[in-house]
């Protein structure tokens, strides 16, 4: 298993000076970390912009300097080289690109001068567009892989459901913190044990990229609701899993505050699509 990766993710110096933010560097680091954690090989793509314009180039748009026959010929040659890699190694898991890049954008790309109606276009950059059959993810999405699984855990059935859900997420290359795997769960816990469990859960929540919350039942578990609220207040995306068909109101699947502070999904397939599993990306994305 391997990914094709935009070369600037491993070597930000390939980017024009001044455009790489601290947030970009964190995403780049997390993406590489995810690959290392799950044994995903990395094959760096060539950098068409560096090869064509040099490594001391100024930031620019596609129409500024890349809309030429010579650049198109370079892309064709580089595409052939990448095609050879895919032929030898088999299809990659996906391409990990960098949004806004004129060559390696995934969802958006700077196309023309700022201020024009199509200055920033939806879709892939000029290089990644040459691989329409290979799924692609922006590095910011690929870097979000640390999941806190918030769920009730007080019965055998609940704990088994949580284990199965955690196993599914791990199979899809997410690192999962499952609270029931932490600490003594007996009724004999003392205050020190309570504080230790609370501190560990809080630290894991703060470090998570996503919270997946199970909110089945007539009313959501109180601990799960607290964890969802904490994550929402910190700006951590919350995806709620509700397979229960009962409604809380005419227009509410569950408690209004929980529903409005999260994205509610009704199946495992919907969950994997929402959290952007790299294992289930369709071609052309």
Cβ-contact 69, 97 below 8 angstroms? no
The pLDDT, as a whole number, for residue 67 is 92
Q: State which residues form the domain around 73.
A: 2-142
Domain count, the chain: 2
What local confidence, expressed as pLDDT, does residue 213 receive? 95
Q: Mean pLDDT check: name the lowest of 131-140, 173-182, 227-236, 248-257.
A: 248-257
- Name which residue leads in pLDDT, 147 or 181: 147
pLDDT in tens, 142-153: 999 999 999 998
What is the average pLDDT score of the chain?
90
pLDDT beyond 60 at 184: no
Residues 191 and 101 in one domain: no
- Sign of the CA dihedral running 123, 6, 283, 76: positive
Same domain, 91 and 188: no
Asked if the structure places residue 108 within a domain, the reply is yes
Q: Which of 108, 142, 176 is the last residue of a domain?
A: 142
Over residues 219-255, the pLDDT tens digits come to 788 889 999 999 999 999 999 998 876 666 555 566 7
Whether 121 and 106 have beta carbons less than 8 Å apart is answered as no
pLDDT band at 285 (very low <50, low <70, confident <90, very high): low
φ, ψ of residue 12 in degrees (nearest 5) = -60, -15
Q: What is the pTM of this model?
A: 0.89
Query: End-to-end distance of the chain based on CA atoms, in angstroms?
Result: 19
């Amino acid at each position: 298993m391997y990914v094709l990766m935009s070369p600037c993710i491993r070597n930000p110096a390939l980017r024009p000076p001044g455009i790489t933010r601290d947030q970009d560097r964190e995403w780049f680091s997390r993406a590489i970390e995810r690959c290392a954690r799950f044994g995903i090989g990395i094959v760096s793509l060539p950098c068409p912009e560096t090869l064509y314009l040099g490594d001391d180039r100024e930031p620019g748009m596609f129409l500024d300097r890349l809309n030429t026959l010579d650049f198109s010929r370079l892309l064709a040659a580089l595409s052939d080289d990448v095609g050879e890699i895919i032929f030898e190694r088999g299809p990659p898991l996906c391409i990990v690109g960098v949004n806004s890049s004129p060559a390696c954008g995934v969802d958006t790309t700077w196309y023309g001068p700022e201020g024009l109606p199509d200055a920033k276009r939806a879709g892939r950059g000029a290089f990644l567009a040459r691989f329409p059959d290979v799924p692609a993810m922006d590095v910011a999405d690929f870097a979000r892989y640390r999941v806190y699984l918030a769920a009730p855990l007080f019965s055998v059935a609940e704990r088994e459901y949580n284990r199965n859900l955690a196993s599914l997420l791990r199979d899809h290359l997410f690192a999962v913190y499952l609270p029931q795997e932490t600490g003594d769960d007996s009724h004999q816990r003392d205050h020190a044990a309570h504080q230790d469990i609370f501190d560990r859960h809080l630290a894991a929540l703060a470090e998570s990229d996503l919270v997946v919350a199970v909110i089945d039942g007539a009313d959501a578990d109180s601990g799960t609701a607290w964890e969802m609220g904490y994550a929402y207040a910190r700006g951590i995306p919350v995806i709620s899993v509700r397979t229960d068909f009962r409604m809380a109101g005419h227009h509410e699947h569950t408690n209004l505050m929980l529903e409005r502070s999260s994205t509610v999904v009704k199946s495992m397939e919907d969950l994997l699509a929402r959290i952007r599993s790299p294992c289930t990306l369709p071609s052309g994305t």
